């Protein structure tokens, strides 16, 4: 280790007490213009833990253990500490080491896996700190891949490679799982039915896609084959060259590679040759319309509890986290544990690995490996998977920020990425500009505009959420609107592709905490329109202008002719004021076009928070762009439905959703309450880009238990989305 003068543990940071929570949240969201009252809604979750994040104690323990192992190996080198969002900040940690004489510093992040938030962003943090300390210490450079020498730099900073695949990481995970398994067995749980569930931090799907530097993303099997089949040999010391498609695998693939490497040994020590595993996610902090890795641990527990053969118990393994911080002690020890208890599933959470001597030893191995690289040597990375990444400097095309797909984050290419966090917690950057929504030419301005990420406290600056922020499942289960319906979330895939037409940052709390109404109105053409083209065009233009004057958003006009004999035109309006919707209806009827239209059917609906998951918001209020086809129908549940236990309704609706939307994830739904508004309880609108997709989801959902609890679900009104002028051109002429 003589290549370096010091080591710095680089972490995310967390509050040390109640007075620190709000300043910490300000730092985590700096530059996004979020008012304190909104931050306090999130910060209040820390009260359960006295305002103290366990990440700090974990890091202090890890520093002590690293120092002891380094000393045992004969390395006399100090270990410092720096955080992104709380004391000691990165700049503070670097400054302290520089004052002690350190000029070549090796950085060890507390993230074991490679992705933007776990790898490249830490180099951006170092770049910010280097800029902040420039006047005091001169030029501070981030080192190159194979050397710590830079004659033009006053201080050099190097970083180790991702270390998820080290032998110590693998053996520590095995020991942790074995302890949790034995704890369940000691409680009398039948081990033949225990489900092994690995959990890691969810990240945006776009971040997952950018977490490998190569266009070709191999499967685990391909990576294993490329490494000589060693990934299934736990504890083997495979080595692979850096920078090949066979080894540079993505964030999700890294987790699967490690799990597959330890599964043979787990099957042996646990006595379960048939043992499989699941990889699920926690701590999703983005808006509901942004696509993140799924399923959430709580949703997954509910899904397996509804299986025909539910598990006898669960061992939950926080494989994505090296120590107990908020994702572990709240998201897993509190939320997920409570979910399992409610479902009657015995639950045991495995330990994190930071205190395991074998894991600490492997961290020092990685430090020594990087020191050898800096000396110009060519050490072979020791790995149990044969997979990387093995680089210590991110290539230009890997680990990209999801904020700008295809481009590195500004801090990655600029030495002036922005001011450092303020110790007071005051925002250090100007608020970003609000996003704008491009409207369809037929529509009035959008009153349900998307909340941009810079104004979303649930997405406070860390692309993977806040790695020290509490989970959201409990919030989704509070303040339920009794008896509400929502389309259950599908678990057809663990990651869904974002449609570029849709907004990716929607604050679902903002949607749920306001009143949003929709009005669906259907008309028949009472008499033929004028034959003269100019006259017909004038009628349409004047009528459309008059209708827009009400201020309601027009989601779309739909040609429903031919699907039903008595209907020709459907209009879908949105507004937060029901009287505005009444006004727009009156205006259409009073317009020049309205004189040709006879009312057939109309129904108003109100968005109410979904009973079982507050993230399930209507597509029409959640930033989802209109699709080419729409299907609208009312709905009335059976009398006994509302008398069933919530758990039973949840199970039935979960099956209903899996049977339909798992097969048709491209179909977008808007379910609104209509109690007391008309003869119906609910009004539903499904949207898709082709008619067959609407038919498919409706057909699939007929084969579910939920159909037994329906009193009425007609009439249906279906048609393509058209401009009003196009609709008029299709109609009979006098």
Give residues with Cβ within 8 angstroms of 263, minimum separation 6: 232, 234, 275, 277
Point out the residues of the chain with pLDDT beneath 70. 31-33, 146-149, 213-246, 286-290, 395-398, 400-499, 504-505, 612-615, 661-662
- Exactly one of 4, 163, 633, 680 is catalytic; name it: 633
Q: In this structure, what token pair is assigned to residue 193?
A: 């039915």
Give the CA radius of gyration of the chain.
Answer: 29
d(CA 606, CA 7) in angstroms, rounded, equals 57
Produce one character per residue of 200-219: b if its CB has 16 or more CB atoms within 10 Å, e if not: bbbbbbbbbbbbbbbeebbe
Q: In this structure, what token pair is assigned to residue 643?
A: 């008398």
Where does the chain hold its CATH 3.40.50.1400 domain(s)?
A: 6-162+358-413, 167-354
* Among 175, 233, 243, 235, CA closest to 213: 243
Residue-wise pLDDT tens digits, 681-692: 999 999 999 999
Q: Cis bond leading into 295, ω under 30°?
A: yes
Q: Helix H segments across 435-483?
A: 473-477
Beta bridge partners of 147: 144
- β-pair type (140-142, 155-159): parallel
* Among 534, 610, 559, 598, CA closest to 724: 559
Binding residues: 12, 53, 122, 201, 327, 656
In this prediction, residue 142 carries a pLDDT of 84
CATH assignment of 499-730?
A: 3.30.70.3420
What is the DSSP code string of 387-415? -----SS--TTSS--TTSTTS--HHHH-S
Assess whether 633 carries a catalytic annotation. Answer: yes
* Among 85, 165, 70, 168, CA closest to 122: 85
Q: Which fold has domain 167-354?
A: Rossmann fold (3.40.50)
Which one of 3.40.50.1370, 3.40.50.1400, 3.20.20.10, 3.40.1410.10 gives the CATH number of domain 6-162+358-413? 3.40.50.1400
Contact criterion met (CB below 8 Å) for 384 and 235: yes
- Neighbouring C-beta atoms of residue 340, cutoff 10 Å: 23
Long-range contacts, 693-700 (Cβ 8 Å, 24+): 693/629, 693/664, 693/666, 693/667, 694/629, 694/631, 694/667, 694/718, 696/663, 696/664, 696/667, 697/660, 697/661, 697/663, 697/664, 697/667, 698/631, 698/660, 700/659, 700/660, 700/663, 700/664
In this prediction, residue 48 carries a pLDDT of 81
**Widest CA span in the chain:** 98
Where does the chain hold its CATH 3.30.70.3420 domain(s)?
A: 499-730
Q: In this structure, what token pair is assigned to residue 333?
A: 């020890």
d(CA 698, CA 710) in angstroms, rounded, equals 14
Binding residues for Fe-coproporphyrin III: 12, 53, 122, 656
In this prediction, residue 462 carries a pLDDT of 33
d(CA 182, CA 408) in angstroms, rounded, equals 46
In this prediction, residue 460 carries a pLDDT of 31
């Amino acid at each position: 280790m003589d290549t370096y003068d010091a080591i710095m543990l680089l972490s995310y940071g967390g509050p040390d007490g109640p007075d620190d929570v709000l300043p910490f949240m300000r730092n985590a969201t700096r530059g996004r213009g979020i008012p304190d009252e909104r931050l306090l809604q999130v910060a209040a979750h820390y009260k359960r833990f006295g305002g103290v994040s366990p990440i700090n104690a974990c890091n202090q323990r890890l520093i002590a253990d690293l120092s002891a192992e380094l000393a045992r190996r004969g390395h006399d080198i100090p270990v410092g500490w720096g955080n992104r969002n709380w004391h000691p900040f990165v700049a503070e940690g670097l400054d302290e080491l520089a004052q002690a004489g350190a000029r070549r510093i090796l950085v060890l992040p507390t993230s074991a896996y490679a992705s933007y938030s776990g790898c490249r962003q830490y180099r951006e943090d170092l770049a910010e700190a280097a800029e902040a300390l420039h006047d005091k210490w001169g030029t501070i450079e981030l080192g190159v891949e194979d050397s710590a020498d830079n004659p033009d730099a006053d201080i050099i900073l190097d970083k180790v490679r991702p270390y998820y695949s080290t032998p110590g990481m693998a053996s520590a995970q095995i020991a942790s799982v074995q302890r949790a398994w034995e704890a369940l067995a000691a409680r009398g749980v039948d081990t033949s039915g225990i489900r092994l569930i690995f959990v890691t931090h969810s990240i945006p799907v776009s971040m997952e896609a950018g977490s490998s530097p190569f266009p070709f993303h191999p499967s685990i099997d391909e990576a294993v084959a490329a490494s000589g089949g060693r990934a299934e040999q736990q504890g083997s010391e495979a080595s692979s060259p850096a920078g090949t498609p066979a080894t540079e695998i993505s964030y999700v693939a890294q987790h699967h590679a490690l799990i597959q490497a330890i599964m043979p040994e787990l099957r042996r020590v646990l006595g379960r040759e048939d043992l499989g595993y699941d990889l699920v996610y926690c701590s999703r902090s983005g808006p509901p319309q942004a696509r993140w890795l799924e399923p959430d641990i709580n949703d997954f527990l509910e899904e397996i509890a509804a299986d025909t053969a539910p598990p006898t118990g669960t061992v939950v393994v926080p494989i994505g986290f090296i120590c107990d911080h908020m994702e572990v002690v709240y998201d897993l020890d509190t939320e997920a544990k409570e979910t399992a208890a409610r479902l009657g599933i015995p639950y045991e959470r495995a330990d994190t690995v930071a205190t395991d001597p074998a894991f600490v030893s492997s961290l020092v191995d990685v430090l020594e490996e990087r020191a050898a690289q800096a000396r110009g040597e060519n050490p072979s990375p020791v790995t149990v998977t044969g997979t990387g990444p093995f680089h210590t400097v991110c290539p230009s095309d890997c680990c990209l920020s999801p904020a700008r797909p295809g481009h590195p984050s500004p801090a990655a290419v600029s030495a002036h990425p922005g001011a450092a966090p303020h110790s007071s917690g005051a925002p250090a950057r100007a608020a970003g500009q609000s996003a704008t929504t491009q409207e369809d030419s037929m529509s009035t301005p959008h009153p349900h505009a998307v909340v941009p990420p810079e104004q979303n406290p649930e997405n406070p600056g860390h692309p993977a959420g806040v790695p020290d922020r509490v989970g959201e499942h409990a919030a989704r289960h509070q303040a339920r609107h009794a008896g509400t319906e929502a389309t259950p979330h599908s678990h057809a895939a663990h990651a869904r592709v974002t449609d570029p037409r849709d907004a990716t940052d929607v604050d679902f709390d903002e949607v749920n905490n306001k009143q949003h109404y929709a009005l669906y109105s259907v008309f028949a053409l009472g008499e033929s329109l004028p034959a003269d083209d100019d006259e017909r065009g004038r009628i349409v233009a004047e009528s459309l202008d008059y209708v827009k004057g009400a201020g309601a958003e027009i989601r779309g006009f739909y040609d429903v002719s031919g699907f039903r004999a008595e209907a020709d035109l459907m209009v879908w309006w949105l507004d937060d004021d029901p009287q505005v919707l009444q006004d727009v209806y009156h205006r259409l009827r009073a317009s020049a076009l309205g004189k040709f239209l006879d009312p057939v059917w109309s129904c108003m609906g109100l968005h109410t928070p979904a009973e079982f998951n507050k993230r399930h918001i209507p597509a029409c209020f959640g930033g989802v762009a209109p699709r080419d086809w729409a299907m609208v129908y009312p709905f009335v549940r059976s009398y006994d439905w509302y008398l069933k236990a919530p758990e039973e309704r949840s199970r039935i609706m979960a099956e209903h959703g899996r049977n339909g939307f798992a097969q048709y994830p491209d179909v977008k739904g808007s379910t609104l309450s209509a109690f007391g508004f008309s003869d119906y309880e609910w009004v539903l609108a499904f949207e898709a880009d082709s008619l067959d997709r609407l038919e498919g989801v409706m057909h699939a959902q007929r084969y579910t238990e939920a159909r037994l609890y329906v009193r009425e679900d007609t009439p249906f009104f279906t048609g393509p989305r058209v401009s009003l002028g196009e609709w008029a051109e299709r109609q009979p002429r006098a």
